[in-house]
Amino acid sequence: MNVGVIGAGSWGIALTVLLNKNGSKVTVWSKFEDEVKMLSEKREYVDKLPGVKIPKTVDFTTDLEATVKNNEVLIMAVPSTFVRGTAHLMKDYVKDGQIIVNVAKGIEENTLMTLSDIIEEEIPQAKVAVMCGPTHAEEVGRGIPTTIVVGAREQRTAKLIQDLFMNETFRVYTSPDVLGMEIGSSLKNVVALAAGIADGLGYGDNTKAALITRGIAEISRLGIKMGGKAETFAGLTGIGDLIVTCASMHSRNRRAGILIGQGKTMKEAMDEVKMVVEGVYSAKAAMQLARKYEVELPIIEQVNEILFNDKPAAEAVRDLMIRDKKIEIGDGFEQ
Ligand SMILES: NC(=O)c1ccc[n+]([C@@H]2O[C@H](COP(=O)([O-])OP(=O)(O)OC[C@H]3O[C@@H](n4cnc5c(N)ncnc54)[C@H](O)[C@@H]3O)[C@@H](O)[C@H]2O)c1
């Protein structure tokens, strides 16, 4: 199958190499001439995915019209903050029913829309699917066994994408719960910032386990109220993605958190990580969602305080520890 990958960052390139291995003809679009030139010549993204060789059969281009028109399936792999703008540029070239698989993770501030909603709004004629899970590009690029989920309204679409990507190192599941998948994979970036902050403060594994467990409790509370399925938050795109993001040094959100925990400002941390730290944007959106759906998100609220109100990180952790006493599991006490 001919596949167009929109966005030539770490994830776009890792998926390109995987699709090429599976026999697809892949064309990668980038907005940037110098990136296209560098990738066409070097056949490796040395800064982002060192050691991952890109076969000669992969084409690179800045021609968005041709990429959209000449490929049956499109993979949207630009960072979340550029999804709307890129979809807007693509809309006139997309055929009726053409499949666009969003692999970016985020919620738009103010509109509070998921990225698949944004693509559907910008390109109503497209069939939009999503693909996410616990997947670092650095590991997928090296062929390390990985699992992921494709979400789509129609099972036929989900199965087609499953067939496209699945191989012996990349196991693909399907799900109809697109909303739950997108909420889990966006909000885990905010909890990853918290996990990084705890690491930066010098806290230990107990703190990390608490943040992961109570973090998924928050994410599911909100996600279920919004219409997501409880099982999704216990699955690969929920707790699975949260674990990998909170534990790995590949996570730019966790790395930014560590710097903030060590005393850097949000701006200094973002500059040092040198990539879009999506959790910062999703943190704001999550608080707006919490207000809209009247759900308590204590960890995410404290991350917002640290990021946007200069609250010292240690104070935020203390406030989490001494907030109102709660039950973990409510039912079953003897009277
Ligand atoms: N890296 C991973 O391991 C990974 C895994 C799963 C999902 N994701 C998600 O995939 C998305 C992309 O992540 P990434 O790691 O590839 O990011 P990245 O920072 O490596 O991507 C940067 C690339 O995006 C493109 N880009 C930059 N600015 C742009 C603009 N203004 N307009 C259009 N394109 C632009 C360029 O090709 C650039 O190289 C994110 O939402 C991320 O959460 C990443």
HSE-CB at 43 with a 13 A cutoff on CA atoms is: 6
Per-residue pLDDT reduced to its tens digit, 66-76: 999 999 999 99
Question: pLDDT band for position 275 (50/70/90)?
Answer: confident
Given a contact cutoff of 8 angstroms between Cβ atoms, the answer to whether 279 and 218 are in contact is: no
Q: Which of 142-151, 267-276, 311-320 has the lowest mean pLDDT?
A: 267-276
Q: Which residues pair with 147 in a beta bridge?
A: 171
The pLDDT value given to residue 212: 96
103: Cβ contacts below 8 Å, ≥ 6 apart: 11, 15, 75, 76, 77, 130, 131, 132
CA 137 to chain centre: 11
For residue 20, pLDDT over 90 is answered with yes
Ligand 1 near 237 CB (within 6 A): no
Q: Of the residues 188, 208, 229, 284, which is catalytic?
A: 188
Which tokens go with 1? 């199958």
What average pLDDT score do residues 183-195 get?
A: 96
- Whole-model pTM? 0.96
- Ligand 1 atom nearest to 115, measured from its CA: 41
Instruction: Classify burial at 34, counting beta carbons within 10 Å of its beta carbon; exposed 0-12, middle 13-18, buried 19 or more.
Output: exposed
Please confirm, yes or no, whether 188 is among the known catalytic residues: yes
CATH superfamily for domain 2-176: NAD(P)-binding Rossmann-like Domain (3.40.50.720)
Helix count and strand count (H, E) for the chain? 16, 8
Residue 331's pLDDT band (boundaries 50, 70, 90)?
A: confident
Report the candidate in 264, 245, 238 with the shortest Cα–Cα distance to residue 194.
245
Q: Is 242 in the pocket of ligand 1 (CB under 6 A)?
A: no
DSSP lists the bridge partners of residue 29 as: 6, 61
In terms of pLDDT, which residue wins out, 267 or 94? 94
Ligand 1 and 224: CB distance under 6 A: no
What residue has token string 């993204």? Answer: 45
Superfamily of domain 179-321: N-(1-d-carboxylethyl)-l-norvaline Dehydrogenase; domain 2 (1.10.1040.10)
Q: Are strands 146-151 and 170-175 parallel, antiparallel or unpaired?
A: parallel
Decide: helix, strand or coil at residue 96.
Answer: coil
Could you read off the pLDDT of 39-49 as tens digits, one per residue?
Answer: 999 999 999 99
Q: What are phi and psi of 149, to 5 degrees?
A: -130, 140
The residue extents of the domains of the chain are 2-176, 179-321
